[in-house]
Amino acid sequence: LAEKGHASVVWSILDYPLKHCPEILLLGIAHVNTTYNLFQREVSLIVFPMIVKSDVGSGMILHLWHINPNLVLRGFMDSQNHDVDSIMRIVDICQELKVVLI
């Protein structure tokens, strides 16, 4: 709907989950595959840096990795671009994921 000219309506629908359960919203929207993935990208830009900063972020990122690895990689890049100091946390999360995935 968002990519067919109804972006404002979709944003109004996503406003509540974005404020109250952003991780669940990102987890759900990671399943969506559209031509441009505009809302997936926008939600990820808002939520992914919060997950990276979170103490339990690696668990959520592991779930996201299994659903949509491209979203995770893009999220890491966006998080690092948003906050240069997050690079060490990103490296730590990647090492935790490496242990789990091996």
Q: State the total domains in the chain.
A: 1
Residue-wise pLDDT tens digits, 7-54: 888 889 999 999 999 999 999 999 998 878 888 999 999 999 999 999
pTM of the model: 0.87
Structural domain for 29, as ranges: 2-101
Whole-angstrom distance, CA of residue 39 vs CA of residue 10: 9
Please report which residue ranges of 2-68 form alpha helices under DSSP H: 7-20, 22-29, 38-53, 57-67
CA 82 to chain centre: 13
- Please state, rounded to an integer, the average pLDDT across all residues of the chain: 90
Whole-angstrom distance, CA of residue 67 vs CA of residue 53: 21
pLDDT of residue 3: 72
